[in-house]
Structure 1
Amino acid sequence: MATTTPEHDKRVADLTFSSVYPHYVTKVEKKGRTVEELHTVIEWLTGFNETTLNTLIEEKVTFKTFFERAKLNANAHLIKGVICGYRIEDITTPLTKQARYLDKLIDELARGRKMEKILRS
C-alpha cells in the first residue's frame, strides 16, 4: 500500500464535511442502515452529537476544521485495515488518518457489521 502524498493530504484537509456527508447517508441507507446509526458512529469517533453535526454542516467546515474540533475517541487507534486504497495503520498524516478512520467506520456500517464491533467496545 502506498503512503499518502502531500497533495492527497491537502485534498482531504480542504474537503468540506457538508459535501461528503450526503454520500455517507446514501451509502448506509442503500445498505439498509439508518441515519441514526450513522450519527452514532460519527459521535463515537468525534464526540459530535446530531446538533453539533448539523452546525458543522451549516458552517461548511473543512475536514481540517472538523477534526480540529473533534475529541477523537480513545479507541480510534483500534480502527485498522484498508480504505480508499490506503492501509490506515501506514498513514502518517494525522488528519488524513482521522478522515480514513471515519471512512472505515462508515464502510463497516454499510457492510452490515454489528454496531458493537464498529464501535470497538
Structure 2
Amino acid sequence: MSTWYKQAEARLKEEYKTVTGHKESAMKSAVRDALLEFCRQNEEFAQAVAQGGSFQDCMKAVAQGVGNCISDLEAYRRAAAFYFDGAKVQFSMSIQLEPAETEPDRKGILLDLSDFF
C-alpha cells in the first residue's frame, strides 16, 4: 500500500471520532469505509484525503440539505467530491435469477494427479 493510503487511512480513522450530529453519525462508518476503498483504488485520491479537509467537515457536507434519508451512492458521491472536486462515483449491481448450480455430476473415477508424486 502506498504512503498516501496509509496517511489517509490514519487520518480518517482518527478524525472519525470527532464526527458529531445525528445524521453524520449515522452515516460516518459507511462513508469512511467507502473513502478508504477509493483511496486504495487511486493514489491521487488518497493524497487528496490525506491533505484535504477534515472528515468532520466532509460529513457535514454529506449531510447538508438531507431530509430523512439519502442513498448510500449519493453520500459516497458527496464525500468523494468533498475531497476531490470532479470525482465521480460509479456503482454496478446485478441480479442472477438462474437456479444455483448443483454439484457437478461425478460419475466414474476421479483421480488427483498429486497423489502420484
TM-score, length-normalised on structure 2? 0.33
Larger relative contact order, structure 1 or 2 (CA cutoff 8 Å, min sep 6): 1
**Could you say which structure has the higher helix fraction?**
1
* Largest Rg, 1 or 2: 2
